[in-house]
């Protein structure tokens, strides 16, 4: 068993990012303080090149490293989502880091390594690789959460994230160990073959193993009851990183979960759909109802991301191609709306990344008409109102459920989106309908952030009105 | 086999309980180590009973991961200490509800 | 002819539009415009009437109004024997009253508005009369109701006037609901509402004595009850006297209120099929005739006396159409239009010169100041009391005679008693107002009471003449009564199996006796003062109180219907059902539950890292133990 | 078969022209308020003018969709941009293009803050509303259905009264909650249609012929029912309406009452009736009972309202009860009457809201008790108010009568008792409207604040007179409208009756027919 | 014989764990932890995983424990010792822990795998290390490389989180 350059081709996007990460690591040492932005630009280039390589190889279908890693449309689609997220987050970070006086090269390094981990997570068929990738990514995230280390919240967030993340990953290891014990391998295809012919006892044990593995993934995608870190971490992390965390790791984890579930757990579909049914329902309901009481924009988005994870679980629960495709599409749509919303949070944030209370948005729509309008679009998008990407995404998710005759799941889903409309619209209310802001609120007047807000808003609308090509791409991507 | 698995289960449960009931961050960290070792034991036991060395290889990865985790965990502990001169995790609970 | 007939309706409509839209500028000539519009209308109307007299029924369809799959409703006008009479009465009396109004309303600030309303009323009334189908009749039916509403509330700054207008409209709406139900049934059975389609097929489709005919008959009669103010929907009419007196004269005496009678006569083909419906019509008519007359006896307000008298007379008309002798109803309708119109005009003249005072207690000996008014008033009173050769005698006699002949002796008796009371209260009024002494010293002087101007007296005289000669068409000539013969072309008298034969002379004698004795009684009490009215009132105190308060009908309606209704609507339907149960409870409650769930779940997020770990562990335990312990074992 | 007799994408043009207008207005500087108003009005009037050929070129002899445009939209699922009108939607489209400019004209003075945003909102709303009525693709329909919620939400929330936030939230959430149920049903319909016919389509015209088994129709019907019943709003789903109406600015109320509510009734005609014929028959009685309750309940509650707008709002509940009643009577005249009633309600209630707005603009109160004796102060206004009141209480000669009579007749021909019961509804509508009229316009002027009231300005005349024309046009010559909807309604009823056509007398036979249908799928 | 060994080592392992769980003093807890790690290493040896046993001692008992001790060194000793031992509501989470134990033990009891190759294939030429090396570099190259990244990230992270304030 020997490796060839062929194997390296499959990880070109990862390699590019790794290369750039190392480049930053080295160049950072010689950069004077005022030129630290070059780090960011380098990271941006890395992302762009990686993105370009993903696009060039979009239709490739290859496996490498003893089937441990593949490059297929699914992984490429997920890569696109992650790289776009990374791109936007990096753009959002430029001025942010300058303002916070934390303009360190390490930020971008860790970020790039995390993306590498995510890409690997998204493109592997081996559970153990998944575990390592998840951990790499998690560690990156712990670090980025605590990056503003002089801030109480940051420390606390990182601490919680760390404890809970490690806690959950133990169960992931346990689950992987069980699969290994049962089937002698952690390769999903082997597991699938084994499961197809497995005895009832094996199947039963496999379900339990599935549960433990799911703890790990559930933690990453913030499914109830493994969600508890989400709001705290989102609220405490640097805003660009909250944005990043709410999309990219989720995209990777969802794709990994899809692979694990669809490929590995295919034979016991009947069982995991039931489990996921319950989890999806609880997750949506939890996220949405608790979000009703939030006062802080970032925290609200944290809860809302729990809810959105619930919606996406609906797509997986549906257990059909449409469902998987729509999960991917939803991730793609969610990218823009959530990043946009976080960008607005950044826009209103003060020094030390504070001041993201919703109340600070009072009269915002009139003071900043364009950005206000964009926020309006994001809010309606998150609530799932057409003509936005969020609506189309939700439509497909629920229609997948309906296709699998999971009517109640779909109904609970839409009821939830009606509940969610309340708190999203409440933001609109505050922006437009509560009169002027009394106190002086200094916004973060960063051109990149504004550009992000406007461009994501346009994208949200564009995808909402002309979803066709994106949708076919998403639907075609999940043919495993 | 059951014996090893039970030991593994005990370690995981003890570690989990530690995470749940202890307030000292360092001890939480240790509990996490114990947990992951319990899981690692499971893997090694599997490896032995299957007659497949992959499990042992995996344990190496897990050890590496655990080490990195600990490194970061300790960094966080230092942050906490710097911030509040305390590593009681209950002192860090302003983010809630 | 087609265009002429259309213009009979259009002319008042044009008058309405001119005065209504350009009222600000036409104000000085509003009366002239309106009256001349009516004059033209009347003259144009003569053409179709002549045509009918020559035996040609005039019917034209102008356009299809509402074409449905189930029924096609045309806009067409029809003048036949029945509507010819109505056309004549309506246009002529209206014309007279328009002229009269020129004098009566002079100086009012709503002069143009008044005439536009009046023209609107005539338009609607003509549509009612001339429409060739029930729905068009309904258009007119509601249209006159609307005009009546507007005119009653003409002096809208008086709250009694605006209340009365609303009351009239709403009460009429109850009747209208009945009417429309009748129309619906008609569509159901006939697939048409056009007279020429319905009547010839009525017997074939419905059958004699069928429930269907009864239902349609009763439903339509509910409409008539509302419009013609029969018991129990009469309550609006007395309040309607809040309007200007010419309006009372035109709408609430001469024309609109008789629409019900016209409609029943019009629908004779249906009523003749249903003895039950006929019985109901006649009974209600008789009851109202008597009931209203009792109330007229005690009232002191001239217009209200006349209003109750109108109710009573309308009751007579319903007796006429109810017993199946449709011509008698229409005959009385016509004569009543003349003399009752005249009575109101005369009352108006009195009011005019008394600056709006109306109570008979304030008057007396007015004859000297207003001789012409007094004369016409007496003529009209004689007519209404059924004294030959005045018009009322012939028509009333025809009704009562036919009632007996058709086998309704009780109705006849009631009718005769009512005739006595009619004469009594009419002459009570005449004697109190025109004869005797001035009751309030110096009042007339102070008010500069004088005779009405010519523009008012001339129409009065015209009507007075008609009140005398108008009934002569009811005299048997050449073997048949002209009016009966005329009407019977369209509304033949229902044939009765056992027709009783009574001596016509005897019946006439009884009627006249009743009338005369009524007058005599009034003379004895109010002129001779053999016994004072107060004494009688004291003798029958409870009855008197009851009558003076009009049987407490308004109070009853207010306390038992209106008030509970408002109370239930406000306190139960709105404040409890709508606001609390549905809105707060069901709608907001759902949201509230979601909020509570969120508030509860929020407690999970304690902020302590340990606690977060609980949930993860618990999740694992719950999920896995479901499979571990429940699923397998 | 689809026809586009103009060979010109007229429907798209009228739908998206306001959107273009919104962009144009967005580019104008906020300070040029008058320019903004004129440009907006210009676009709306232009839109109306362009929509007129729809009326004149409409072919009343066919039930097929006309002025059709069809472009693939979301290819992977077969959704299309498919628009067209038939005799049912034609008038609602025209009503929209007609009413919006008038509503906008009414805001000339009433909206004094954020004028630019307001006008953009109006234009966007126009696009959303038209889209709902022209969509023939379920998905497209749903998109528009929800899209128009947003501008309405903004309109109530930004320019509304003191309780606007609560009202607008309630409006949005309530209708949204209803329509997401419809979303599920739309999805289910899409997949079920595939199950029974083998093709995926969201083409409404095709779905109307979809053979759905009885038990599946039930749930789908209910889901659509909830969405539309809330929108209509039928009793007891109506409680958002008084809130929304009272708090909304005049133009908002006009559009809400005039057009948005019609979407509910229109939805029933487009979805529930033709797609679920069995359920339509099964539920007809229930819905009719609800409609009748609504008619009376709306009237009773309207009667005791202290606020003019709230009164008119409750009267809407009553009026739309008529519309629902006529529709579910399932007779030709009933359904036509229902459509007429929609148009009438748009005109007369819209006008009433405009009128309330006029006086509100001057006095900033809508409480009946604050007024009195207005007839002598503002006669022209009083006359307009009277005429629209009459139209609202269905006095013959006005449009209201035509619609109400048709509904009555339709209901009566279905079951006598319905017609008879509802015939009495007119009493109460007269009561509440006239009582209000009396208290506002009659009697003496008691409140000295009213003395300074000025009568209607030319602009106000300008937007009320067109409505007046329609009051009498429809009242006197309804055939102009009826003839155009005749064939479409006939076809609709044929669809509704398609399963019961097969010997309806015997239950077994009917169920046999149904099993055949099931097996086919 | 083996059975007895197993029990002794198990008791050491679990006892160490319990020591961590219960001791108030973190220094002592760290000692307990090392104790436990040695136990685990013993179990590894029993499971024919000699390489891992060494790894366990070097990495865990050595590196990690030392790191933990080091970090504790820089902290205030009194603070560390004065911290509350348990959470205020420590009882029901302890119950959760017991439930978890029951759950996992039952699972362990039920867990059955194919045991036809017990103890085989774990060595090449009697060397467990060589076998691991073969597999690691031939089969698990990718995860190995990724492990490099994770360590690097942890390194960077530890630096960036703890180094002195930049300003």
pLDDT for the residue C507:
83
Check if E20 contacts B (Cβ < 8 Å).
yes
pLDDT for the residue A139:
93
Check if E120 contacts B (Cβ < 8 Å).
yes
Task: Examine the pLDDT at A228 and tell me if it is beyond 50.
Answer: yes
Interface with chain E: mutation pick from C620, C622, C623, highest number of E CBs within 10 Å: C620
Q: What's the Rg (C-alpha) of chain A?
A: 21
List, for residues B35-87, the tens digit of each pLDDT value: 999 999 999 998 898 888 888 999 999 999 999 999 999 999 988 888 888 88
Domain boundaries, chain E: 1-81, 122-167
Calculate how close chain B gets to A173, using CA atoms only, in Å: 6
Residues of D in contact with C158 (CB under 8 A): 443
Range of the domain at B54: 2-91
Evaluate the CA torsion angle E18, E19, E23, E26 in order and state its sign. Answer: negative
> Which pair of structure tokens corresponds to residue C476?
């048997």
CB of A229 closer than 8 Å to CB of A165: yes
Task: Examine the pLDDT at D519 and tell me if it is beyond 50.
Answer: no
Residue B52 lies in a domain: yes
Tell me phi and psi for residue C496, to 5 degrees: -110, 140
Which residues 12-41 of B are in CB contact (within 8 Å) with E? 12-18, 20-24, 26-27, 29-31, 33-34, 37, 40-41
Range of the domain at D485: 280-496
Tell me phi and psi for residue C233, to 5 degrees: -95, 25
Nearest to A402 among D73, D180, D184 (CB): D184
List, for residues E20-79, the tens digit of each pLDDT value: 988 888 888 899 999 899 999 999 998 888 899 998 998 888 888 888 888 888 888 888
Cα(A183)–Cα(D154) distance, integer angstroms: 59
Mean pLDDT over residues A22-39, rounded?
A: 86
Residue D400 lies in a domain: yes
Query: How crowded is residue D459: how many other Cβ atoms within 10 Å of its Cβ?
Result: 12
ipTM: 0.90
Nearest to E132 among B13, B57, B69 (CB): B57
Check if E140 contacts A (Cβ < 8 Å).
yes
CB of C372 closer than 8 Å to CB of C456: no
Residues of E in contact with A143 (CB under 8 A): 153, 156-157, 160-161
| Interchain pair D236, C66: CB under 8 A | no
Residues of D in contact with C159 (CB under 8 A): 442-444
Banded pLDDT at A142 (limits 50, 70, 90) = very high
Do you find a cis peptide bond into A225, omega within 30 degrees of 0?
A: yes
Banded pLDDT at A86 (limits 50, 70, 90) = very high
Check if B88 contacts E (Cβ < 8 Å).
yes
Cα–Cα nearest to D182, from D239, D141, D233, D241: D141
Residues with Cβ < 8 Å from C544, sequence gap 6 or more?
C298, C536, C537, C538
CB of A381 closer than 8 Å to CB of A390: yes
| Interchain pair A475, D168: CB under 8 A | no
* Chains in contact with E, counting 3 or more C-beta pairs less than 8 Å apart as contact: A, B, C
Calculate how close chain E gets to A166, using CA atoms only, in Å: 14
Residues of C in contact with E84 (CB under 8 A): none
| Interchain pair C605, A292: CB under 8 A | no
Banded pLDDT at A2 (limits 50, 70, 90) = low
Mean pLDDT over residues A342-368, rounded?
A: 87
Provide the 3-class DSSP secondary structure of residue A148: coil
Residue B82 lies in a domain: yes
Least confident of A103-117, C249-263, E85-99: E85-99
Residue B96 lies in a domain: no
CA atoms within 13 A on the CB side of C511: 29
Which residues 573-612 of C are in CB contact (within 8 Å) with A? 591, 594-595, 597-599, 601-602, 604-605, 607, 609, 611-612
| Interchain pair C569, D376: CB under 8 A | no
pLDDT for the residue A300:
92
**Over pLDDT 70: what percentage of chain B?**
99
Cα(C473)–Cα(C481) distance, integer angstroms: 7
Check if E100 contacts C (Cβ < 8 Å).
yes
pLDDT for the residue C303:
87
Residue D360 lies in a domain: yes
Quickly tell me which residue has 């500069």 as its tokens. Answer: C448
| Interchain pair C621, E107: CB under 8 A | no
Banded pLDDT at A34 (limits 50, 70, 90) = confident
Residues of A in contact with D165 (CB under 8 A): 429, 433-434
- Find, in chain C, the residue whose alpha carbon is nearest to that of A153: C607
Check if D143 contacts A (Cβ < 8 Å).
yes
Check if B92 contacts E (Cβ < 8 Å).
no
Cα(E163)–Cα(A98) distance, integer angstroms: 18
- Find, in chain B, the residue whose alpha carbon is nearest to that of E133: B57
Quickly tell me which residue has 């280039």 as its tokens. Answer: A45
CB of C391 closer than 8 Å to CB of C471: yes
Which residues 406-465 of D are in CB contact (within 8 Å) with A? none
Question: pLDDT averaged over chain E?
Answer: 86
Number of domains in chain B: 1
Residue E85 zone, left/alpha/beta (φ > 0; ψ -120 to 50; rest): alpha
Calculate how close chain B gets to C622, using CA atoms only, in Å: 15
Residue B97 lies in a domain: no
Question: pLDDT averaged over chain D?
Answer: 88
Cα(A88)–Cα(D512) distance, integer angstroms: 61
Cα(A342)–Cα(A298) distance, integer angstroms: 7
Question: pLDDT averaged over chain A?
Answer: 89
Residues of D in contact with A422 (CB under 8 A): 169, 173
Task: Examine the pLDDT at A343 and tell me if it is beyond 90.
Answer: yes
Check if E85 contacts C (Cβ < 8 Å).
no
Calculate how close chain A gets to E163, using CA atoms only, in Å: 10
List, for residues A468-479, the tens digit of each pLDDT value: 999 999 988 887
Quickly tell me which residue has 């998008």 as its tokens. Answer: A381
Residues of C in contact with D383 (CB under 8 A): 20
Calculate how close chain A gets to E157, using CA atoms only, in Å: 6
Cα(A338)–Cα(A315) distance, integer angstroms: 19
- Find, in chain C, the residue whose alpha carbon is nearest to that of A229: C612
Residues of B in contact with C617 (CB under 8 A): 16, 20
CB of A382 closer than 8 Å to CB of A420: yes
pLDDT for the residue D365:
87
pLDDT for the residue C603:
83
| Interchain pair A285, C597: CB under 8 A | yes
Residues of C in contact with E106 (CB under 8 A): 628-629
Alpha-carbon dihedral angle through residues A104, A108, A113, A118, given to the nearest 10 degrees: 140
pLDDT for the residue D509:
40
> Which pair of structure tokens corresponds to residue B93?
């609970």
Residue D333 lies in a domain: yes
Number of domains in chain D: 1
Task: Give a three-class secondary structure readout of C409-440.
Answer: HHHHHHHHHHHHHHHHHHHHHHHHHHCCCCCC
List, for residues D488-518, the tens digit of each pLDDT value: 999 999 888 876 433 334 444 444 344 334 4
Banded pLDDT at D480 (limits 50, 70, 90) = confident
pLDDT for the residue D504:
38
| Interchain pair A160, B62: CB under 8 A | no
Provide the 3-class DSSP secondary structure of residue C63: strand
Nearest to A290 among C601, C613, C620 (CB): C601
Between strands D79-85 and D66-74, the pairing is: antiparallel
pLDDT for the residue E167:
47
Protein fold of E1-81? 1.20.120
- Find, in chain D, the residue whose alpha carbon is nearest to that of A403: D191
A to C CB pairs, distance under 8 Å = 79
Residue D373 lies in a domain: yes
Nearest to D413 among C70, C138, C178 (CB): C70
Q: How far apart are the first and last CA of chain E?
A: 63
Do you find a cis peptide bond into C517, omega within 30 degrees of 0?
A: no
The CA-based angle A196-A197-A201, given to 5 degrees, is 100
Check if E118 contacts A (Cβ < 8 Å).
no
Quickly tell me which residue has 């048949």 as its tokens. Answer: C480
**Tell me, what CATH number does B23's domain have?**
1.10.287.3510
Could you say which residues of chain C have pLDDT below 50? 633
Residue D468 lies in a domain: yes
Calculate how close chain B gets to E167, using CA atoms only, in Å: 16
- Find, in chain A, the residue whose alpha carbon is nearest to that of D27: A370
């Amino acid at each position: 068993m020997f490796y060839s350059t062929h194997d390296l081709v499959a990880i070109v996007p990862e390699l590019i990012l790794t290369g750039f990460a190392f480049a930053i690591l080295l160049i950072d040492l010689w950069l004077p303080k005022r030129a630290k932005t070059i780090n960011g630009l380098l990271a941006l280039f890395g992302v762009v090149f990686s993105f370009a390589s993903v696009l060039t190889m979009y239709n490739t279908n290859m496996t490498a490293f003893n089937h441990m890693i593949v490059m297929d449309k699914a992984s490429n689609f997920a890569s696109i989502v992650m790289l776009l997220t990374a791109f936007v987050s990096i753009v959002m970070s430029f001025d942010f880091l300058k303002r916070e006086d934390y303009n360190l090269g390490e930020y971008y390094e860790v970020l790039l390594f995390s993306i590498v981990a995510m890409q690997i997570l998204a493109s592997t068929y081996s559970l153990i690789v998944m575990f390592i990738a998840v951990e790499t990514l998690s560690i990156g995230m712990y670090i980025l959460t605590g990056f503003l280390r002089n801030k109480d919240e940051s420390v606390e967030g990182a601490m919680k994230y760390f404890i809970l993340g490690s806690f959950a990953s133990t169960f992931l290891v346990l689950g992987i160990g069980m699969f290994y014990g049962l089937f002698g391998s952690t390769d999903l295809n082997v597991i699938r073959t084994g499961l197809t012919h497995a005895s009832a006892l094996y199947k039963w044990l496999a379900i339990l193993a599935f549960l433990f593995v799911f703890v790990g993934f559930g933690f990453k995608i913030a499914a109830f009851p493994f969600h508890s870190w989400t709001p705290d971490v989102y609220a405490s992390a640097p805003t660009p990183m909250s944005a990043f965390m709410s999309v990219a790791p989720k995209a990777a984890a969802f794709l990994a979960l899809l692979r694990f579930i669809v490929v590995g757990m295919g034979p016991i579909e009947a069982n995991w759909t039931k489990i996921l049914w319950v989890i999806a329902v609880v997750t949506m309901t939890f996220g949405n109802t608790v979000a009703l009481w939030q006062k802080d924009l970032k925290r609200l988005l944290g809860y809302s991301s729990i809810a959105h994870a619930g919606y996406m679980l609906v797509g997986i629960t549906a257990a059909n191609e449409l469902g998987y495709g729509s999960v991917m599409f939803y991730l793609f749509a969610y990218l823009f709306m959530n990043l946009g919303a976080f960008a607005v949070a950044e826009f209103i944030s003060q020094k030390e990344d504070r001041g993201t209370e919703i109340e600070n948005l009072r009269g915002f729509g009139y003071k900043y008409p364009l950005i206000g309008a964009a926020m309006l679009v994001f809010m309606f998008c998150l609530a799932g109102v057409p003509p936005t990407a969020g609506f189309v995404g939700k439509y497909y998710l629920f229609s997948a459920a309906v296709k699998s005759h999971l009517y109640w799941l779909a109904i609970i889903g839409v009821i939830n989106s009606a509940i969610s409309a309340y708190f999203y619209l409440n933001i609109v209310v505050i922006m437009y309908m509560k009169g002027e802001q009394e106190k002086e609120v200094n916004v973060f007047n960063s051109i990149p952030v504004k550009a992000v807000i406007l461009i994501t808003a346009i994208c949200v609308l564009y995808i909402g009105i002309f979803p066709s090509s994106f949708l076919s791409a998403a639907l075609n991507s999940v043919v495993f | 086999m059951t014996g090893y698995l039970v030991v593994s289960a005990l370690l995981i449960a003890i570690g989990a309980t530690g995470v749940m009931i202890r307030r000292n961050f360092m001890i939480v960290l240790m509990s996490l180590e114990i947990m992951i070792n319990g899981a690692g034991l499971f893997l090694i036991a599997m490896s032995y009973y299957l007659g497949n060395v992959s499990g042992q290889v995996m344990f190496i990865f897990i050890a590496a991961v655990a080490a990195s985790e600990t490194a970061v965990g300790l960094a966080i502990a230092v942050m906490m200490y710097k911030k509040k001169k305390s590593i009681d995790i209950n002192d860090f609970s302003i983010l809630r509800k | 002819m087609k265009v002429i007939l259309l213009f009979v309706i259009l002319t008042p409509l044009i008058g309405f539009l001119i005065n209504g839209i350009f009222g600000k500028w036409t104000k000085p000539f509003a009366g002239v415009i309106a009256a001349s519009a009516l004059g033209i209308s009347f003259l144009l109307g003569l053409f179709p009437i002549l045509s009918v007299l020559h035996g040609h029924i005039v019917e034209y369809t102008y356009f299809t109004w509402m074409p449905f799959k189930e029924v096609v409703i045309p806009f067409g006008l029809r003048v036949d024997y029945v509507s010819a009479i109505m056309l004549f009465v309506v246009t002529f009396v209206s014309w007279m009253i328009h002229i009269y109004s020129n004098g009566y309303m002079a100086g009012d600030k709503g002069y143009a508005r008044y005439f536009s309303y009046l023209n609107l009323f005539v338009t609607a009334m003509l549509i009612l009369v001339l429409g060739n189908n029930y729905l068009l009749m309904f258009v007119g039916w509601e249209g006159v109701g609307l005009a009546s509403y507007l005119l009653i509330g003409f002096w809208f700054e008086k709250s009694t006037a605006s209340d009365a207008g609303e009351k009239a409209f709403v009460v009429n709406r109850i009747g209208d609901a009945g009417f429309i139900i009748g129309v619906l049934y008609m569509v159901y059975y006939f697939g048409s509402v056009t007279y020429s389609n319905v009547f010839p097929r009525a017997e074939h489709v419905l059958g004699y004595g069928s429930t269907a005919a009864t239902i349609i008959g009763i439903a339509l009669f509910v409409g008539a009850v509302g419009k013609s103010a029969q018991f129990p929907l009469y309550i609006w009419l007395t309040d309607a006297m809040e309007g200007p007196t010419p309006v009372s004269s035109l709408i609430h005496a001469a024309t609109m209120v008789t629409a019900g009678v016209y409609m029943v006569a019009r629908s004779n083909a249906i009523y003749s099929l249903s003895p039950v419906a006929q019985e109901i019509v006649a009974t209600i008519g008789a009851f109202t005739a008597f009931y209203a007359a009792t109330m007229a006896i005690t009232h002191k307000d001239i217009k209200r006396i006349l209003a109750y008298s109108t109710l009573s007379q309308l009751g007579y008309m319903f007796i006429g159409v109810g017993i199946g002798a449709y011509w008698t109803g229409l005959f009385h309708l016509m004569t009543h239009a003349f003399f009752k119109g005249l009575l109101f005009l005369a009352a108006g003249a009195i009011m005019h010169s008394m600056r709006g005072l109306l109570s008979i207690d304030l008057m007396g000996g007015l004859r000297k100041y207003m001789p012409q008014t007094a004369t016409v008033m007496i003529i009209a009173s004689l007519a209404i009391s059924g004294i030959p050769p005045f018009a009322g005698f012939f028509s009333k006699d025809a009704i009562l005679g036919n009632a007996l002949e058709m086998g309704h002796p009780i109705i006849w008796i009631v009718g005769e008693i009512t005739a006595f009371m009619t004469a009594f209260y009419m002459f009570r009024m005449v004697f109190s107002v025109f004869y005797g002494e001035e009751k309030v010293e110096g009042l007339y002087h102070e008010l500069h009471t004088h005779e009405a101007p010519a523009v008012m007296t001339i129409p009065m005289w015209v009507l007075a003449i008609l009140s005398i000669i108008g009934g002569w068409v009811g005299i048997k000539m050449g073997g048949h009564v002209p009016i009966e013969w005329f009407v019977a072309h369209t509304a033949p008298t229902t044939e009765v199996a056992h027709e009783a034969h009574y001596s016509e002379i005897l019946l006439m004698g009884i009627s006249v006796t009743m009338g005369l004795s009524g007058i005599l009684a009034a003379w004895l009490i109010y002129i001779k003062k053999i016994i004072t009215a107060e004494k009688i009132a004291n003798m029958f105190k409870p009855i008197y109180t009851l009558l003076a308060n009009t049987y407490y009908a308004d109070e009853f309606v207010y306390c038992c219907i209106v008030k509970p209704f408002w109370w239930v609507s406000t306190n139960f339907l709105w404040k409890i059902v709508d606001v609390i149960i549905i809105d707060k409870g069901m709608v907001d409650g759902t949201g509230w539950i979601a909020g509570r769930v969120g508030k509860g779940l929020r407690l999970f997020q304690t902020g302590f890292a340990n606690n977060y770990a609980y949930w993860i562990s618990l999740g694992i335990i719950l999920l896995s133990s479901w499979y571990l312990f429940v699923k397998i074992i | 078969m689809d026809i586009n007799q103009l060979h010109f994408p007229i429907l798209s043009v009228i739908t998206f022209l306001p959107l273009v207008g919104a962009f144009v207005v967005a580019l104008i500087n906020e300070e040029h308020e008058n320019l903004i108003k004129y440009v907006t009005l210009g676009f709306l009037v232009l839109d109306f003018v362009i929509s007129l050929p729809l009326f004149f070129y409409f072919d009343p002899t066919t039930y097929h969709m006309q002025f059709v445009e069809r472009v693939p939209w979301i290819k992977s699922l077969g959704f299309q941009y498919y628009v067209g009108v038939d005799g049912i939607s034609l008038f609602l489209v025209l009503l929209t293009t007609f009413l919006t400019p008038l509503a906008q004209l009414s805001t000339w003075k009433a909206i004094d803050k954020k004028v630019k945003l307001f006008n953009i909102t109006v234009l966007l709303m126009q696009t959303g509303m038209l889209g709902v009525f022209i969509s023939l693709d379920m998905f497209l329909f749903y998109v528009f259905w929800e899209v128009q919620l947003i501008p309405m939400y903004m309109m109530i929330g930004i320019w509304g009264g003191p309780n606007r936030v609560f009202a607008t939230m309630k409006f949005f959430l309530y209708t949204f909650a209803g329509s997401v149920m419809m979303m599920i049903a739309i999805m289910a319909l899409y997949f079920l249609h595939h199950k029974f016919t083998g093709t995926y389509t969201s083409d409404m015209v095709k779905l109307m012929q979809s053979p759905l088994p009885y038990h599946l129709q039930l749930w789908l019907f209910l889901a659509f029912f909830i969405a539309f019943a809330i929108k209509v709003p039928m009793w007891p789903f109506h409680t958002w309406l008084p809130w929304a109406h009272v708090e909304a600015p005049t133009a908002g109320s006009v559009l809400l009452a005039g057009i948005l509510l019609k979407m509910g009734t229109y939805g029933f005609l487009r979805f529930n009736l033709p797609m679920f014929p069995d359920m339509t028959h099964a539920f007809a009685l229930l819905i009719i009972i609800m409609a009748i309750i609504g008619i009376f309940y709306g009237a009773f509650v309207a009667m005791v309202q202290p606020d003019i707008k709230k009164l008119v709002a409750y009267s809407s509940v009553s009026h739309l009860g008529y519309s629902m009643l006529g529709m579910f009577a399932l007779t030709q005249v009933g359904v036509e009457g229902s459509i007429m009633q929609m148009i009438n309600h748009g005109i007369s209630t819209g006008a009433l809201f405009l009128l309330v707005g006029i006086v509100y603009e001057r006095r900033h109160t809508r409480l009946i008790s604050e007024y009195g004796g207005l007839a002598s102060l503002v006669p022209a206004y009083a006359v307009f108010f009277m005429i629209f009141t009459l139209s609202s209480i269905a006095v013959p000669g006005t449009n209201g009568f035509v619609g109400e009579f048709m509904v009555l007749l339709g209901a009566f021909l279905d079951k006598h008792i319905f017609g008879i019961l509802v015939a009495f509804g007119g009493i109460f509508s007269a009561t509440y409207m006239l009582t209000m009229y009396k208290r506002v316009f009659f009697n003496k002027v008691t409140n000295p604040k009213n003395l300074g009231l000025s009568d209607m300005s030319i602009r106000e005349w300008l937007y009320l007179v067109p409505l007046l024309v329609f009051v009498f046009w429809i009242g006197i010559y309804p055939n102009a409208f009826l003839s155009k909807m005749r064939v479409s309604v006939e076809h609709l009823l044929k669809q509704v009756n398609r399963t019961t056509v097969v010997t309806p007398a015997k239950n077994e036979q009917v169920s046999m027919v149904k099993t055949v249908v099931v097996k086919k799928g | 014989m083996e059975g007895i060994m197993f029990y002794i080592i198990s008791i050491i392992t679990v006892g160490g764990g319990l020591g961590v769980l219960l001791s108030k003093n973190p220094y002592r807890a760290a000692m307990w932890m090392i104790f436990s790690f040695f136990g685990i290493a013993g179990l590894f040896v029993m499971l024919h995983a000699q390489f891992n046993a060494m790894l366990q001692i070097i990495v865990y008992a050595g590196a990690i424990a030392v790191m933990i001790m080091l970090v504790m060194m820089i902290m205030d000793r009194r603070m560390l010792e004065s911290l509350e031992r348990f959470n205020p509501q420590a009882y029901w989470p302890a119950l959760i822990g017991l439930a978890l134990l029951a759950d996992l033990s039952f699972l362990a009891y039920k867990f059955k795998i194919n045991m036809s190759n017990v103890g085989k294939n774990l060595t090449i030429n009697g060397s467990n290390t060589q076998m691991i090396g073969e597999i690691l570099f031939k089969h698990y190259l990718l995860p190995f490389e990724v492990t490099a990244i994770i360590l690097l990230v942890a390194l960077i992270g530890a630096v960036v989180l703890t180094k002195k304030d930049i300003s």
